[in-house]
A and B are shown apart, each in its own frame.
Chain A
């Protein structure tokens, strides 16, 4: 929305992207080695790996989505330029971890294509959503190089890479439907998740307001979407705090 041109990296091997990618691969190998050596059952290894890779994919996707609105709202944010340059590598790692998670879960836990016939509709829908997201991430990964930007033209490339938001929503729905950590909607993990999501969505709303100003759609004194989103999340967190506060006070847990 801010119309920024993707930063080019002249020396790929020494760039931040290369460092992020190599770090990501090392972490994936580290997790695999840890699971192999410290988990006694093979089924446990499969579960641990698919869950670990899913959490990393989700975390990295969050970080990838956060960088643009964060650096727009806070241009003097430390290492803002470095973060922007590393964004493409983070996106590539999201696909890498997502593919690992999907492959292990689908073929290792759900019996592959033969197992699909035994899954209920909720499960099938969750898998279709995540597979669609993975396809989007794949397209983004193979076009995440300077040559692809030149070949596609920047306008088309940007349009294609906007699909990351669709992928993000699909993955969130997938996790909401199947994720073990997402099962307790007001548990510790989800409480943290709501704070993280509220922060991201608020910054995106701020970004959207700036976009509206740039396009001369709305030039008023109030940032409509930012105010609306932060207000709604504020009400939600007050309600959540009251609910948890009452539970602690009354000893309901």
Chain B
């Protein structure tokens, strides 16, 4: 029973330590137009850091084209608009209607993202309004209102953090090398003992 409690505690700690990320891959729709929201990098926006929002549109009536859409993206917090940007057509993604916008969340918290679209010419598709909720749970550390010296230190700290991350990746690759070299020896040796 003690073992079970110990295992459960470890598992719960693991579960609770899963990074606080935002709600990505959310589909919202109005009328015939729907869009899935993706957030880069890794669906984990940080306050004070440029975040790319990617919207994959689909119009079931097949009338909407992003090139012919006046699509704006408004970032709101507690009803107050923080910024409004134009959604850009991602020309690389030819197979899907994909729009991108770069925004910076000023601080951690819950934001509303309003995507409004209407045709630039004629009545090719019905105007739409999609609302998403985004939760920013971490700071980048590179906040704007920091004295120069502190800011430099912070940037240096950030660079160290990135280096540490890559160093950890390097270490994991080395572990992979060691495992792949060691495993045949251990398995073969084990086989000999059992034979």
Interfacial residues, chain A to chain B (CB-CB below 8 A): 19, 23, 26-27, 30-31, 34, 39-44, 46-48, 51-52, 55-56, 73-76, 105, 109-111, 115, 117-121, 123, 178, 180-181, 183-184, 186-188, 191-192, 194-195, 198-199, 202-203, 206, 226-227, 230-231, 233-234, 236-238, 240-241, 243-245, 247-248, 251, 253
**Beta-carbon contacts of B153-180 to A below 8 Å, as 1s and 0s?**
0000001001101111110111111011
A46/B23 in contact, CB under 8 A: yes
Q: 19 A-B residue contacts at CB 8 Å?
A: A27-B11, A46-B23, A47-B24, A47-B135, A56-B15, A75-B194, A110-B25, A110-B36, A123-B56, A180-B21, A183-B43, A184-B41, A195-B172, A195-B175, A198-B179, A206-B187, A227-B184, A243-B173, A253-B159
Nearest-CB distance from B89 to chain A (Å)?
A: 16
Q: If the complex has contacts A52-B15, A248-B167, are A234 and B8 also in contact, measured as CB distance less than 8 A?
A: no
Any A CB within 8 A of the CB of B35:
yes
Q: Of B26-34, B65-73, B115-123, which binds chain A?
A: B26-34
A199/B167 in contact, CB under 8 A: no
Any A CB within 8 A of the CB of B133:
yes
* Residues of A close to B167: CB separation below 8 A: 244, 248
Which residue from B25, B34, B95 sits with its C-beta under 8 Å from A109?
B25
Interface size on B, as a range, is: 35 or more
Any A CB within 8 A of the CB of B20:
yes
* Residues of B close to A187: CB separation below 8 A: 42, 169
Interfacial residues, chain B to chain A (CB-CB below 8 A): 4, 7-8, 11-12, 15-16, 18, 20-29, 33-36, 40-44, 56, 58, 60, 95-96, 110, 132-133, 135, 159, 162-163, 165-170, 172-177, 179-181, 183-184, 186-187, 190, 194
A241/B165 in contact, CB under 8 A: no
CA distance A228 to B62 in the complex (A): 49
**By CB atoms of chain A within 10 A, which of B25, B163, B173 has the most?**
B173
CA distance A56 to B40 in the complex (A): 24
Q: Chain A residue with minimal CB distance to B35?
A: A118
